[in-house]
A and B are shown apart, each in its own frame.
Chain A
Amino acid sequence: MPLQPIKFYQAGSFAVGNRLLDPEERTVQARTERSNTLTSGHRACQGCGEALGARYTLDAAMRATGGRLIAANATGCLEVFSTPYPESSWQLPWIHSLFANAPSVATGIAAALRAKGKTDIRVVGQGGDGGTMDIGFAALSGMFERNDDVLYVCYDNEAYMNTGVQRSSATPPAARTATTGAVGPEPGNVFGQGKNAPLIAMAHEIPYVATATVAELRDLEYKIERAMEFHGARYVHVFVPCPLGWGSASRDTIRMARLAKETGLFPVFEAEHGEVVGVSKIRRRVPVEDYLRPQRRYAHLFRDPPRTDVIERIQAGADRNIRRFGLLEDEDAAEDGLMRVLAETDRGPQ
């Protein structure tokens, strides 16, 4: 990943910094010609990470394609809050078919465009973690292995939020959801389950895979723009906090996303043709407790007595990510990061 040459004093928003920049360096969102692809009036909750992520993603993709873009959307929060018939927040051609088939619908759109010779029009598929990593996973893998000319974006808020916060394969260990209640001897989601969709995407050796968070929106925009430079199957996995499902404050969405990255719990990287080519280093390392404590889905870890054993296991996971992906600036780990990524599993090196 090209180094981000711009550093700002603000820990949060880039908005102020944008004004100091050369116009060409500004974010897509800071431009007057931004397309407002997901425009105002939608029904997302206050502080919705997915709405923010989708807006930045699609505006960046629209800019990269000169507005020649079609979207296929899986069932989920994003679909529901954006299209309460007869209204729609979408200012691009957009289709929702089913929960499990957004990648296949996108494939069909791309095929139709190819048959019609409209190769200037590009296709994006999108969905939440459940639609992408669980019920739509076969469709996603099929789209990847055929290397269909589709950018698929997963907005990962780590559970089935649209149906009332049930556990998905993206739900982290110990997190409370409606189906992994904070009850019994081991409250919350179990350890040793779930899957890493970006790594599985990389295993398909598709041209481009990246992760991003809504805390680093310039990075997200860059990755979408980069993805659109490739043809074939591309995957961007965006970490999008959900105040409702996580029990975090609406004002803390960006903060939660930043903490997920700064703890090492969510590694931010990009890969081309199956190889990691760039990692976003942790700027200020923080213990996982700082990330867990503000979220009510982890409240059971901080009762009296606190579950320090569980917090330690989560910390160990973050430490492992830091080691696997070489997330620390001083760690000379990035070079052979991919080999370690591929060689290790949750049960250690094999």
Chain B
Amino acid sequence: MRSQIEGSRAVAEAVARCRPEVVSAYPISPQTHIVEALSNMVRTGELAPCEYLLVESEFAAMSAAIGASATGARAYTATASQGLLYMAEAVYNASGLGLPIVMTVANRAIGAPINIWNDHSDTMSQRDCGWIQLYAESNQEAVDLHLQAFKLAEALSVPVMVCMDGFVLTHAVEEVDVPSQEEVDAFLPPFEPRQVLDPDDPVTIGAMVGPEAFAEVKYLMHAKQMHALDLIPEIAAEFSQAFGRSSGGLVQAYRSSDADTIVVALGSVLGTVEEVVDEVREQGVKIGALGIKCFRPYPVDEIRAALGHARRVVVLEKAFAVGIGGIVSQNVRLALAGLPVEVFDVVAGLGGRAITTRSLHGLVGDVLEGRLEPGRPTFLDLDWELVGRELERMSRGRRSGPHAENILRDVGAVAAQPH
């Protein structure tokens, strides 16, 4: 049904229609509205049969999902930021055990300094954990990806993360079509795993595997993800057929087939990027965009095919690897190996800083006019005066102490210290 609805509420309703049997979650902003809604749906009986577990941590949330999934229940959780890191050990365990848990991550920055706002540092930190990672551009896509995620997870017995930008999407009210129960039931078959914890057919799950078979198990995890590269477009096509709209898939090109310059991004910023592409195109510049919808498995062939003809690729990413630079851009460079394409790493939108059309116009101008160096990270809208002052101080003496607090000390605003 189409309605004006908050992203979190829409996702909660979509998840409920996927009939999870166990939901275990620990509250963390900006994920809270999703799990609050699900808790109420379980309490009223709107979502039944389902057990909602009020666990004491994200680590317990994922662990309970592991137990539930291994017992043959469709299991769901949601988290963000520090919560994802706190459950990290269990996140790896779920994928190692091949349990098809679906988790929403309301993308949020990782501290310190603590910050509740949106960027992709949380999910990017877990990009190699063995989960499939799908990134939603809009709330409609977030809803649709959850239906696809359960189907994909259970087809391959691999856990799936649906990544949606915290606040930007989770707290935005916009028109969304949440599929009806009948539509979801027709699209998503019941969960019927091959092997579960069952007294009638006892199995040992999670045995200690030594050097003789460990690599084989890990290879099979990789092989499943490679299989997902075929399955994700198939499920997206099936979804499109059933629901009459396109959502998900591996990558999504926007006006890029003839473009010399292509901006690559993940998540909700794609809307702003496409707007800027349209405006720059009006000036006669051949520019386009490419949205990466699935970051793990990494669709290397599709990205090479979509970007290989360009002269410049600007990777706009909401996270970076400290000490080297872009994360997505490193992956993009891998896809373009051997091709004469310049790749620019642009780190933007960290900790919720808005990525404006104005900034993007400036960035595109810098790229087109050769003011940026490819291969070196560029930090969009960085306050160079502030950073420069701090770097200058550090060059003069001891560099000890936390960054944010040092800045405050330098501007004479150390409130916590008695004077």
| A residues lining the B interface (CB < 8 Å) | 67-70, 72-73, 79-80, 83-88, 90-98, 100-101, 104-117, 121, 138-139, 141-142, 145-146
Given A98-B93, A115-B73, residue A93 in contact with residue B202 (CB < 8 A) = yes
> Could you say which residues of chain B place their CB within 8 Å of the CB of A80?
208
Q: Is the CB of B60 within 8 A of A88?
A: no
> Could you say which residues of chain B place their CB within 8 Å of the CB of A92?
199, 202
Q: Is the CB of A97 within 8 A of B90?
A: yes
Q: Is the CB of A101 within 8 A of B90?
A: yes
Give CA–CA (A47, B396) in the complex, Å.
64
Count B-side interface residues using an 8 Å CB cutoff: 44
> Could you say which residues of chain A place their CB within 8 Å of the CB of B203?
93-94
Give CA–CA (A94, B90) in the complex, Å.
17
Query: Which listed residue, A68, A90, A100, A110, touches B59 by the CB 8 Å rule?
Result: A100
A-B contact pairs, 29 of them (CB 8 A): A93-B197, A93-B203, A94-B203, A95-B66, A95-B197, A100-B59, A100-B89, A105-B66, A105-B67, A106-B67, A107-B24, A107-B60, A108-B68, A109-B197, A111-B24, A111-B64, A111-B67, A112-B21, A112-B68, A112-B69, A112-B71, A115-B22, A115-B50, A116-B21, A116-B71, A138-B56, A139-B59, A141-B56, A142-B56
Shortest Cβ gap from B397 to chain A (Å)? 39
Given A70-B197, A98-B89, A98-B90, residue A104 in contact with residue B67 (CB < 8 A) = yes
Q: Is the CB of A72 within 8 A of B93?
A: no
Q: Is the CB of A101 within 8 A of B21?
A: no
Q: Write the B345-378 contact mask toward A (1 if CB under 8 angstroms, else 0).
A: 0000000000000000000000000000000000
> Could you say which residues of chain B place their CB within 8 Å of the CB of A141?
56
Give CA–CA (A141, B21) in the complex, Å.
24
| B residues lining the A interface (CB < 8 Å) | 21-22, 24, 49-51, 53-57, 59-60, 63-73, 75, 89-90, 93, 97, 196-199, 201-210, 213
Give CA–CA (A118, B57) in the complex, Å.
27
13 extra interface residue pairs, beta carbon distance < 8 Å, beyond A112-B68, A139-B57: A83-B207, A83-B208, A84-B210, A85-B207, A94-B202, A95-B67, A104-B55, A105-B66, A105-B70, A107-B53, A108-B69, A115-B73, A146-B55
Query: Which listed residue, A86, A96, A138, touches B206 by the CB 8 Å rule?
Result: A96
> Could you say which residues of chain A place their CB within 8 Å of the CB of B59?
100-101, 104, 138-139
Task: Specify the chain B residue showing the minimal Cβ separation from A84.
Answer: B208
> Could you say which residues of chain A place their CB within 8 Å of the CB of B64?
104-105, 107-108, 111
> Could you say which residues of chain A place their CB within 8 Å of the CB of B53?
107-108, 111, 146
Give CA–CA (A239, B66) in the complex, Å.
29
Query: Which listed residue, A93, A96, A105, A116, touches B207 by the CB 8 Å rule?
Result: A96
Task: Specify the chain A residue showing the minimal Cβ separation from B199.
Answer: A68
> Could you say which residues of chain B place their CB within 8 Å of the CB of A138?
56-57, 59-60
Shortest Cβ gap from B306 to chain A (Å)? 39
> Could you say which residues of chain B place their CB within 8 Å of the CB of A90?
202, 204
Given A107-B53, A116-B21, A138-B60, residue A84 in contact with residue B207 (CB < 8 A) = yes
Shortest Cβ gap from A43 to chain B (Å)? 10
> Could you say which residues of chain B place their CB within 8 Å of the CB of A95?
66-67, 70, 197, 204-206
Give CA–CA (A25, B210) in the complex, Å.
44
> Could you say which residues of chain B place their CB within 8 Å of the CB of A87?
207
Task: Specify the chain A residue showing the minimal Cβ separation from B65.
Answer: A108
Q: Is the CB of B199 within 8 A of A70?
A: yes
Give CA–CA (A114, B202) in the complex, Å.
19
Query: Which listed residue, B22, B75, B198, B206, touches A97 by the CB 8 Å rule?
Result: B206
